[in-house]
Amino acid sequence: MSGESILRRNNVTVLGRTDGPVLMFGHGFGTDQSMWDKVLPYFVEDYRVVLFDHVGAGGSDLDAYESAKYSSVEGYVTDIVEILDALDLTEVTFIGHSMSAMLAVTLAAEHAQRLRRVVLLAASASYMDRPEDGYEGGFSREDLEELFESLDDNYVVWASRMAPVFMNNPHRPELGADLANRFNRTTPHIARELARTAFLADVRHLLSKVRVPALIMQCADDIIVPMHVGAYLHQNIPSSTLVNMKAKGHFPQASAPEETAHTMLRYLGSTTPGLLTLV
């Protein structure tokens, strides 16, 4: 596949300074690159910003979607590496939200030569509890089976019901409504498969292999990622910094863009892992 076709496949957008340090933003389940719109103004003057849509999302090439390929995080990681190759990028800071934070961990463990650091926003290494070794991700297998059944029964109803819960800003109902609209722009059968890929993934075995500095941004009252999960990541990723944010819910780039951007900028301006003060 040519570089041009790779960029079309993932609807790649490049903004900001052509000679600036490179930031690559990866979006999570049910959204696309526009989920970062509120934070981009904080970065485009000083950084080269690379945005993309995972295949199956936003303006990506839906014909490129393959159930087998995207049944694991490795399929999505392969796409990201191909984008980096197509743009000839190294020394990249990869900023991953939610599921894309799992991709960031995988990149940092297996393709560290392409990266400078990673930022893990609302991140988990496994959303599912793993009773065999005492890990608590926040969802039991039964919880997830119920979630998948709801998705399968009626994706539109599920999206409208769960988006406000995930956003967790009840005093700003417009945020939940916007997220529901974003969910509904995803093709239902792709959303169902992506949910299984994301919620059943387990990258815990890669945490100790992360070979670049990592910023972990843990949100308050995040129904998807409990507070102890951020601490778990921090304990298991060697050169990591943990910041407990005031922002509530799973989508702080939408609900608290100023805090989200400033937390990232303070980290990007630091040179020593652990320099940021825990909030």
Q: Are 242 and 278 in contact (CB under 8 A)?
A: yes
Our separate counts of H helices and E strands in the chain read 10, 7
Q: Is 131 helix (H, G, I), strand (E, B) or coil?
A: coil
CA neighbor of 209 nearest in space, from 230, 238, 229: 238
DSSP 46-72: TSEEEE---TTSTTS-GGG--TTGGGS
Give CA–CA dist 278/37, Å, rounded.
26
Q: Annotated active-site positions, please?
A: 98, 222, 250
Signed CA dihedral, 85, 89, 94, 95: sign only: negative
Under 8 Å between Cβ of 248 and 220? yes
> Phi/psi of residue 184, each to 5°?
-75, -10
Sheet hosting strand 240-248, strand order edge to edge: 13-16, 48-51, 22-26, 92-97, 115-121, 214-220, 240-248
Token pair, residue 24, equals 């690559």
CA distances from 22 to 88, 95, 96, 99 (A): 11, 11, 14, 21
Amino acid making up residue 154: N
